[in-house]
Amino acid sequence: MTLHRIALGGLVVLVLGVAVAGVATMRLVARWEAPYRGFPTTEVFVQIMPGSGALAIGGQLVESGVVQDEWAFRYALWKTNLGRELKAGEYRFDQPLSVSQVVSKIARGDVHLRPLMFPEGLTVPAMASIFGRSDFGTAEEFLVASQRVELIVALDPEASDLEGYLFPDTYLLPRTITADQLVERMVVRFKQAFGEPLLQQAGEAGLSMREVVTLASLIERETALAEERPVVSAVYLNRLKIGIALQCDPTVIYALERAGLYEGNLTRENLTYDSPYNTYLYSGLPPGPIAAPGLASLEAAVKPADVGYLYFVSRNDGSHVFASSLREHNRNVREYQIQFFRER
């Protein structure tokens, strides 16, 4: 009788144990499949560092409120067999996810990337200012990185910095990116834009890469209108052919900015400022690029319009009027500059 009771009691304990285990497993499965109800009401960012183990990652996710507990996370790793596939980076969670979804997201490396935009026509200091206002680093770090001429020396042995070679674009960046890494990306993007077709066209035009980028930077700073870029390019190339000074205002502004002398308005006195970048005083192209040209300006530099223009002046609405003779140009200056400002 006693043995019978003991056996019966053992059976009850076994059944209860199996039942408890079953309930626990069902709860794990439920937590694995269902979105976590305890997810915070605001978005959550989790930074997984390189070399982090699966258990450490699970602890981070629990602490951040992304998953309920580490057991559910471990079960998901076992169930998906993705424990060795988890990738470092910053992850953004903006809604409740199941543990399996969280594991899949990290295994895919679906990291959160932040956009940083550099418009066409910026100088290196202006780009550094944009970088410094972001969460990625300081302007000083960007300026130091922009001195890495080894990134471009194979294409431009004369480069003393990366002015003109940091391609303007919107870059999607992880939060941990450094100024050096970003600059490397920007130079790679420039090389992709300035591919074999442009190199071939530059050679056919008798221009080196540095000359093309320099000319393109002048075009970029002179006009924002797509239809005008090839025409502005033709004006400058026509003047270069016959030895007329380019008289490009943005080159003077650039020279003044480099010296810390530009006050926001170009004066007649400024046009006499002695600098090799002053294309009123020195013929030919300036020593190097004065800004970062976009693809359209690079293409315009090697594919100018077939026109005989030598002059242009602003219409004060973003567009320009072009002329082939000095007499015609002076008439345009009187109409669109002198008379315009008298009537204001």
Residue range 242-262, pLDDT digits in tens = 999 999 999 999 999 999 999
DSSP one-letter string for 274-326:
--TT-TTTS-SS-SS-SS---HHHHHHHHS--S----EEEE-SSS-EEEESSH
* Mean pLDDT value across the chain: 89
Q: Tell me, what's the pLDDT at 26?
A: 53
Q: Would you say residue 157 has pLDDT above 70?
A: yes
Mean pLDDT score, 289-295: 98
DSSP label at 268? T
Whether the CB-CB separation of 321 and 312 falls below 8 Å is answered with yes
Q: Tell me, what's the pLDDT at 40?
A: 82
Percent of the chain past pLDDT 70, that is, above it, reads: 88
All CATH 3.30.1490.480 domain ranges in the chain, comma separated:
19-108
pTM of the model: 0.82
- Based on C-alpha coordinates, what's the Rg of the chain? 32
Only one residue has tokens 């009850």, namely 12
As its CATH architecture, domain 19-108 has 2-Layer Sandwich (3.30)
DSSP one-letter string for 107-132:
HHT----EEEE--TT--HHHHHHHHH
Q: Is 161 exposed, middle or buried (0-12, 13-18, 19+ CB in 10 A)?
A: middle
Residue range 24-68, pLDDT digits in tens = 455 555 555 678 777 787 889 999 999 999 989 999 999 999 998
N-to-C CA span, the chain: 115
Residue range 313-331, pLDDT digits in tens = 999 899 999 999 999 999 9
Q: Would you say residue 20 has pLDDT above 50?
A: no
Alpha-helix runs per DSSP H in the chain? 2-33, 54-64, 70-80, 99-108, 124-133, 139-145, 179-193, 196-204, 209-222, 229-242, 249-258, 295-302, 326-333, 339-342
Beta-carbon neighbour count of residue 320 at 10 Å?
A: 22
Q: Tell me, what's the pLDDT at 117?
A: 98
Q: Tell me, what's the pLDDT at 13?
A: 43
SS3 245: coil
Least Cα distance to 148 among 186, 117, 199 occurs for: 186
Q: Tell me, what's the pLDDT at 34?
A: 74
Q: Tell me, what's the pLDDT at 18?
A: 41
Q: Tell me, what's the pLDDT at 21?
A: 40
Confidence label for 275 from pLDDT (cuts 50, 70 and 90)? very high
Q: Tell me, what's the pLDDT at 23?
A: 45
Q: Would you say residue 22 has pLDDT above 80?
A: no
